[in-house]
Amino acid sequence: MIGITGYAVYLPRHRIEREKIAAAHGTKPILGGERTAIGFDEDAVTLALEAVQALELPECRGIYFASTTAPYLERMNAALLAAACDLPEEVAVADFAHSLRAGTVALAAAVDRVAAGGQEPIVVVAADAREAPPESPEEQWFGDGAAALAIGRGAAVLAEVRARASVTDDFLDFVRRDKDEHITSFASRFTLEGYRRIVGRAIAQVLEHSGVSPSEVARVILPPLDPKASVRTAVELGFRADQVQGMLLERVGMIGCATPFFLLSAALETAQPGDLILMVGYGSGADAWLFEVTPALERSRGRSSIADQLEGGLRFPSYELFRKAREYFRHHDEGPVVSNIFYEKEEVRTIRLRGAECGECGLRQFPPTAVCQRCRSTEGLREVKLGRRGEVFTYTVDWLAASPMPPTILAVVDVEGGGRLYLQMTDVEPSAVRIGMPVRVTLRRLGAGGGLYHYYWKCRPEGRSDG
């Protein structure tokens, strides 16, 4: 039995109401509510890492990263993710891109690898922060986020792969050339007809392969090219409207190639053993997947839910700050030039986040050192992976430090398992910070320069409320 052994979603803490976007252009919102939005220090890789860490797997044998907005076009983003997870060199990594169904294509590769006897679990993570032209409908429709699935076999499987089918069709819907910053949309009535035709073919094939009728499916997950069109397509194919998984467009938006995994995670949060879930990924064709929920899902309850992540949040006070957060590093490339020699030397602490543990007294220190600060021993010091959770020991709010969105909150954090870090805080209002506050260590962008994005660790509140 091969299937999903873990699932997780990460939605950025920032939001913007659609009314603010519309008001900035003198128009009306196309939909009520709000959309998720990255902060100035986030991108598709940092979103993906949050989702991978939320899986809380005891081990990981591979990372397949899917995105249409990966920060690097020539450098394997999945390798950067593997380093940030402090995985060994033997881990399997791959990038998947260029289509909204990049996530479901990566899922097929992971399932095939496990089926062929490869080591597992393989983590498939999809993340996107897509850019639409200002004043376009897509600027309001789109959202940012990430979702991850762990693929394995045996008794740990929460949802077994029952059948799958794929169709390829070079149909124009969303396009972005190598020289474009923004997506070109071909949205029209004809686009919706193409969507129905392509999605319908994939669904018909997977139902035929599995011998399942539409009435036997508990949940249908369709890509939200248009919410009404998705429901109409399902009904035309023999499903009831109440079988279609809610799309959360009024709270999140369309989060690119992460959407199928995001909606699948939402379906699994309420699914029961024996339920059949049909998931479709769409873009230059379609992939249809049929999963059957196993009794193991009941034992995996208790993780942070999507509703928990949607609670609270930080609203951008203006459309101008929303745009600044998205464009800051695109227009500021004045950071230091870093050689590959220096990067290799510093990766242990800047990306892998390792410290030193004393073999004599057990003290953990960061950065790694050759002398124990407590017992002064120089023997038995070894590198260890530091914890990714902790609490604030002390902090200060700095209004003078250079920042695209002041102030800068600086915190001393005691991490679980030992060690003390001096970090910037992110995703929090200064008034909400307190000593003893639970935090999670998170990789973020610190700058850009010399042909690289410069990443380092910050901390954010562990909970989702505004405190």
Shared domain for 112 and 42, answered yes or no, is: yes
* Within-domain flag for 219: yes
152 phi, psi to nearest 5 deg? -155, -160
Write down which residue in 263, 297, 331 finishes a domain. 331
* Within-domain flag for 359: no
* Within-domain flag for 156: yes
> Which H or E run includes 194?
helix 189-210
Domain that holds residue 416: 388-467
Residue keyed to tokens 């294509």: 105
What six digits make up the tokens of 425? 């805080």
Q: Which of 459, 439, 463, 462 is nearest to 390 (CA)?
A: 439
What is the domain-level CATH number for residue 433? 2.40.50
Shared domain for 115 and 16, answered yes or no, is: yes
Shared domain for 150 and 27, answered yes or no, is: yes
Write down which residue in 331, 357, 378 finishes a domain. 331
Sign of the four-CA dihedral 395, 396, 401, 407? positive
What six digits make up the tokens of 30? 């196309």
Residues with Cβ within 8 Å of 20's Cβ and at least 6 positions away in sequence, in order, are 316, 318, 319, 322
Shared domain for 256 and 399, answered yes or no, is: no
Shared domain for 91 and 182, answered yes or no, is: yes
Q: What is the spatial distance between Cα 461 and Cα 72, in angstroms, rounded to a whole number?
A: 28
What is the domain-level CATH number for residue 108? 3.40.47.10
Shared domain for 254 and 403, answered yes or no, is: no
Mean pLDDT of successive 10-residue stretches along the chain, which has 467 residues: 97 97 95 95 98 95 98 97 96 97 98 95 98 94 97 96 97 93 91 92 97 98 82 93 94 97 97 97 97 92 82 94 91 85 92 95 92 91 95 97 92 96 97 97 94 96 63
* Within-domain flag for 65: yes
Shared domain for 45 and 174, answered yes or no, is: yes
> pTM score > 0.85 for this model?
yes
* Within-domain flag for 227: yes
| pLDDT value of position 227 | 65
* Within-domain flag for 375: no
Shared domain for 70 and 196, answered yes or no, is: yes
Shared domain for 323 and 448, answered yes or no, is: no
Shared domain for 8 and 140, answered yes or no, is: yes
Shared domain for 327 and 392, answered yes or no, is: no
Domain count, the chain: 2
What six digits make up the tokens of 69? 């907005």
| pLDDT value of position 140 | 95
| Residue 243 per-residue DSSP state | G
Shared domain for 425 and 288, answered yes or no, is: no
* Within-domain flag for 417: yes
Q: What is the spatial distance between Cα 318 and Cα 230, in angstroms, rounded to a whole number?
A: 32
* Within-domain flag for 344: no
